[in-house]
Chains A and B, each alone.
Chain A
Amino acid sequence: MEKWLEHVEPLTFKGQIAVPYTWWAGETGSLFLMGLRDKETIMGCRCNSCGTVYVPPRRTCAQCFTDTGEWVQLGNKGTVQSYTIVRFSHPLQPVEAPFAYAMIQLDGADVSLVHLIKKDLDKLEKGVRVRACFKEKSERKGHILDIDGFEII
């Protein structure tokens, strides 16, 4: 029964699933995103118990299983902890390849933020210092890409 299929294309059917999800950013996430949009500031939060400063901020510290309490304004500069130069293009990507993803430890944070680096890719290495570049105010909408990307200082 299977042999004849070797010589022909099988019948296929296109899926139609495109569910229009709407994700609520939550109170903590909204304050973070509003900081990007309105003030060009990157806010983190500190766990009351272990003192870890998280970014993006979140309401609970997974290590301590307690509420994080205090808001902390982080620097718009940071240090690259890891990076990759992406060479392939895909509709998911917000920019044309080549570009880089980097894990950036912002000044004042204990964890890394993953974001984009679009230029000077040949200068990327662990430990380089980078700065957040914000989109023009009129283009910012309370979105992680209100930070257009990070540039090497």
Chain B
Amino acid sequence: MDNIAIVGVAQTKYAERKKDKTCADLVFDVTRAAMEDAGLALEDVDNVVTVSNDFIDGRTISSMAVGDAAGAHDKNISTVEGDGAFGALYGAMRTLGGFGTTLVVAHAKGSEGDVKFITNGMFEPIYQRLLGLESISSSALQARMYMDRYGLTEEDFARVSVKNHANGKNNPYAHLQLDVTVDDVMNSEKLADPLKKLDCSPVSDGAAAIIIANESHISKAKTKPVWVRGMAHCSDAYLLGDRDLAVPQSLAAASKKAYTMAGINDPMKSIDLVELYDAFSYMEPMWLEGMGFCEAGKGATLLDQGVTAMSGALPVNPSGGVLSSHAMLVAGLARIIESVLQLRGEAGQRQVENAKTALAHGINGACGQAHCVWILGNQKK
């Protein structure tokens, strides 16, 4: 297989309501900024992958409305409907499949729709959607099952929120920059037990873009390449009741494949930081278990031992994670971008020292039905 690398990245600041920008404005801004970052011109971009969702945008074939803004006029353009980490995976496949460079751009304006209606729409329409399930209540079912299985407490999850919101304060792109305590999380508005408002990510507006290049085209870019050393995705069953919600087995499968591709035997030893999709606080420890950083049920212990802190052996979500900024679809691509910035040594206040290898992660579907795992490195092997 050819070597490929990420040579350009850009993201907007995430915000509750970007009233000065349309979706196309956001896409144009990050497309131009990613090209500037890479030092590439539009003619150097061989094909474009847009990431959008028709329900979120409120338009049919939403991808077609942002092609012009993505510089795709007269180019080969295709779309991934799902999280940006999966869009990037498709972009990587195109770069491996003959295109010299691929631009992947994702956008979302949560402020323009109603996220509860939109996330209700991901459920099966006859048996589940009519119950009114949406993202928060379905995730609460998962959080409760996880707590009961391993004897975890709401405070275990609150500590994740405290850590990630503190990290978010170091990230100029973060939507929320909050000083919160465990008590603040515990006393925040109860939404669906055990989840409270500060256990949940905000709904953000924003966009992000990356440029992936084949090794044969890397010399054109001015940035230090961040190499794609491994990537994989895997999906679990659709219906919530069919799955063991406390055990993310599709994440375990995806991680194993990505580690094998990257030649990683012991992820704790080989990986310097993780940017994962913590749409809710409980997801961080659960996903760390799925990724094999600890045994099942021990994800919260990693945090208690300081392992996942900025000063720990495995900083998790130095950016503040999805808990600090959640532009739907964009958030997985943002995990990749944050990892790239870390590996280039350009993460500013949130920089993890000597970061050489990072894991970036995205999810699709209710309660993490599908997982996409990326292993990125600033060394080729």
Contact = CB atoms under 8 A, between A and B. Distances in A.
Given A87-B192, A87-B193, A145 B240 contact: no
Contact of B241 (A2, A17, A94, A112): A112
Contacts of A103: 141, 145, 240-241, 245
Nearest to A58: B239
A101 B140 CA distance: 9
Interface string B115-133: 0110010000111101111
A93 B128 CA distance: 11
B137 A84 contact: yes
Contact of A94 (B58, B131, B137, B141): B131
B61 interface: no
B241 A101 contact: no
Nearest to A110: B242
Contacts, number: 109
A139 B245 CA distance: 34
Interface stretch (A69-77, A113-121, A130-138): A113-121
Contacts of B148: 82, 126
Contact of A90 (B58, B116, B140, B193): B116
B126 A83 contact: no
B74 interface: no
B126 A82 contact: no
A35 interface: no
Interface residues of A, number: 41
A145 B128 CA distance: 10
Interface in B108-163: 116-117, 120, 125-128, 130-134, 136-138, 140-145, 148
Contacts of A113: 127, 241
Contact of B20 (A5, A25, A90, A126): A5
A24 B354 CA distance: 57
Contacts of A92: 116-117, 120, 132, 134
Contacts of A94: 130-132
B269 interface: no
Interface in A86-104: 86-88, 90, 92-94, 101-103
A2 B145 contact: no
B237 interface: yes
Contacts of A111: 239, 241-242
Nearest to B148: A126
A5 B20 CA distance: 6
A56 B237 contact: no
A15 B239 CA distance: 30
Given A10-B20, A126-B148, A90 B134 contact: yes
B240 to A, nearest CB: 6
B19 interface: yes
B192 A82 contact: no
5 contacts: A56-B127, A90-B116, A90-B132, A92-B120, A111-B242
